[in-house]
Amino acid sequence: MARKFDNRPIGVFDSGIGGITVLKALRARLPHENLIYLGDTARLPYGTKSAETVTAYATQATRNLMTHDIKMAVIACNTAASVALEPLSAALDPLPVIGVVGPGAEAGVKASKNGHIAVLATEATVRGGAYLRAIHALAPQADVVQKACGLFVTLAEEGWIKGDVAEAAARRYLEPLFKGRQKPDTIVLGCTHFPVLARVIARVVGPGVKLVDSAATTARAVELALTEKGLTTNRRGKGKVRFLATDSAERFARVGGIFFGEDITAKQVELVDLLPG
Amino acid sequence: MARKFDNRPIGVFDSGIGGITVLKALRARLPHENLIYLGDTARLPYGTKSAETVTAYATQATRNLMTHDIKMAVIACNTAASVALEPLSAALDPLPVIGVVGPGAEAGVKASKNGHIAVLATEATVRGGAYLRAIHALAPQADVVQKACGLFVTLAEEGWIKGDVAEAAARRYLEPLFKGRQKPDTIVLGCTHFPVLARVIARVVGPGVKLVDSAATTARAVELALTEKGLTTNRRGKGKVRFLATDSAERFARVGGIFFGEDITAKQVELVDLLPG
């Protein structure tokens, strides 16, 4: 049987800019794929909003991505992947939809030896409990503690990823979780903003605690799904990356560069309108 | 000539919850007035968004308030009042519209003796420069320095209004402004979230620096406008307060209580949809 190919882009959706960490991992693992990233910067953050609003906004955003003829949607926003993956999959059917929560949970379970896992996430992700369920589906005996770390989002966006403010915030959020006798040996960074704060988090919790995020495991899950469904590109050169945002191309470029590890110029960012319904 | 009265409510608009500090000041100064507060919690914060998006969102929100037959609109959101007061006044004409920037600038100019004034605000407010213009309109010789303090918004919403995180953030934002020979003697808190951080800000900048915000001066400006236009209520009892929000009644009630100084229950908060256009 002839191998199938598909040169359409992969759509990556995030509430804002943090999902670029997932985009970066996709680019590293699948350099030939065309990627199109949409950040709903006009309405971020999602992490403080209700499940209903997050679902409505994420549906509008992924519908916009569909107009760009994507072959697969990656929900890089932990909050949207936590509370809206089912409705999004239904809305985008038959397009394959991959969220970051499953791969993130998998990374956590693989990394943990003592079965004690801490999940750091937004308020909405913690409330939704999707990480808890995903980890228990893989490791029913795991002892999971969740912690909403809202300030980490702003610290990452402010670029304050080291220094005394970030460290004091990390201490305040994390010390209570690492006080007991049976400490977590693994932290799942359950928000795309948090990997840029990994160094300060590691210093606060001390050695012997592994920090994992869903970027790399999501990229692997995407690769597997592409292969399985015959959707891999057969292009040879480096794939194109397009950026769409709902607001503030300049801010997107400036903060996005922190997450992408490469400069993004405001000219590379196209503004789009998302329509309700 | 008979004195005129008007018992319709005053509409108060904010991007979220912080504007409740202005509501509180209105309630204290005008206890008999009915007040209706709308917080656009589904799309907050406005302070990181472009002027175009802030104007579009604020117009939708104040149009919703108009459907509640208000007699006056108070723009309690510094960002909206900074970048969108003119289009809002045009959209709501002939309804009187009062923003917080003019009264805030007035409070700063009155408080300053050495003519050096620091304005702390959101990124969008600083970029718009409305405080700068409003202060210079009153005191052309004033030396004004603006500082975007994005993390203060999250700290206030997280309830971290004292302690080492808030203090480290305040030091990082403010110490550079207060290093020179000619220090500001007055800080204008140009975001409704910031008054809850007043104590920690005061400790960082030291004695001899006055902190002012626009809540009290806005309430006085509203009182003057009501009297001038014959719009004062003639009710005797305590006015009613209604809360509208675009998302998360529970979070609104919880965080709103911090700003209101009185408990708000989730049942008191009505969810509304804002329509584009």
CA distance A149 to chain B (A): 9
Determine the pLDDT at residue B92: 94
Q: Which is nearest to A108 in space by CA: A76, A84, A133?
A: A133
Look at residue B55 in the predicted model and tell me its pLDDT. 96
Question: In angstroms, rounded to a whole number, what is the distance separating the alpha carbons of residues B76 and B37?
Answer: 10
Instruction: Map tokens 């600038």 to a residue.
Output: B105
Residues of B in contact with A41 (CB under 8 A): 49
Pseudo-torsion of CA A241, A247, A249, A250, nearest 10°? -140
Q: DSSP assignment of B33-85, as one string?
A: S-EEEEE-TTT---TTS-HHHHHHHHHHHHHHHHTT--SEEEE--HHHHHHHH
Cα A25 to Cα A134: distance, rounded to the nearest angstrom: 21
For residue A159, what are the contacts with CB-CB under 8 A and spacing of at least 6?
A255, A258
Q: Is the pTM of this model over 0.90?
A: yes
- Percent over 70 (pLDDT), chain B: 98
In this structure, of A19-28, B84-93, B200-209, B257-266, the range with the lowest mean pLDDT score is: B257-266
Euclidean distance between CA atoms B251 and B263, whole angstroms: 12
Burial letters A98-109, b for 16+ CB under 10 A, else e: bbbbbbbbbbbb
Q: pLDDT per residue over A227-238, tens digit each?
A: 999 999 999 999
In this chain, the answer to whether the domains covering B10-99+216-271 and B102-214 adopt an identical fold is yes
Query: Touching check for A51 and chain B: CB below 8 Å?
Result: no
Q: Are strands A210-213 and A10-14 parallel, antiparallel or unpaired?
A: unpaired
- State how far the Cα of B265 lies from the Cα of B249, in Å rounded to an integer: 8
CB B17 within 8 A of CB B1: no
Average pLDDT over residues B212-225: 96
Average pLDDT over residues A34-63: 95
Calculate mean pLDDT across residues B35-63: 95
pLDDT in tens, B107-157: 999 999 999 999 999 999 999 999 999 999 999 999 999 999 999 999 998
Which of A118, A89, A36, A110 lies closest to A225, judged by CA? A89
Give the H or E element holding residue B109: helix B101-111
Indicate the domain borders of chain B: 10-99+216-271, 102-214
Q: Are A177 and A187 in contact (CB under 8 A)?
A: no
The Cα angle at residue B103 between residues B200 and B52, in degrees rounded to 5: 90
Q: What is the mean pLDDT of residues B15-42?
A: 96
Q: Is B222 exposed, middle or buried (0-12, 13-18, 19+ CB in 10 A)?
A: buried
Q: Which chain A residues contact residue B54 at CB under 8 A? A: none
Report pLDDT for B60: 95
CATH topology of domain B102-214: Rossmann fold (3.40.50)
Q: Is the pLDDT of residue A102 over 60?
A: yes
The verdict on B247 touching A (C-beta cutoff 8 Å) is yes
Any A CB within 8 A of B153 CB: yes
Categorize the per-residue pLDDT at B3 as very low, low, confident or very high, splitting at 50, 70 and 90. low
Give me the pLDDT at residue A180, please: 78
Cα nearest neighbour of B170 on chain A = A165
Contact state of B153 with A154 under an 8 Å Cβ cutoff = yes
* B181 or A162: which leads in pLDDT: A162
Is the pLDDT at B276 greater than 70, yes or no? no
Question: Which residues of chain A from 69 to 128 reach within 8 Å of chain B, CB to CB?
Answer: 123
Query: A123 pLDDT band (50/70/90 cuts)?
Result: very high
Average predicted confidence (pLDDT) for chain B: 94
For the question of residue B77 being annotated catalytic, the response is yes
Global ipTM? 0.89
Nearest to A53 among B157, B160, B247 (CB): B247
Contacts of A197 in chain B (CB under 8 A): none
Architecture of the domain defined by B10-99+216-271: 3-Layer(aba) Sandwich (3.40)
| Of residues A100, A91, A120, A92, the one with CA closest to residue A26 | A100
Q: Cβ–Cβ of B153/A151 closer than 8 Å?
A: no
- Over residues A169-175, the mean pLDDT reads 97
Mean pLDDT of the A216-235 span: 96
B172/A160 touch (CB, cutoff 8 Å), yes or no: yes
The DSSP secondary-structure symbol of A185 reads S
CB neighbour burial string for A190-228, b if at least 16 within 10 angstroms, e if fewer: bbbbbbbbeebbeebbeeebbbbbbbbbbbbbbeebbee
- Look-up of token digits 């923003």: B99
* Sequence letter at residue A90: A
Which of B53, B155, B168 faces A42 most closely, judged by CB atoms?
Answer: B53
pLDDT at A276: 67
Predicted confidence at residue B257, as pLDDT, reads 87
A–B CB contacts, 8 A cutoff, strictly below: 75
- State the catalytic residue, choosing from B54, B72, B77, B231: B77
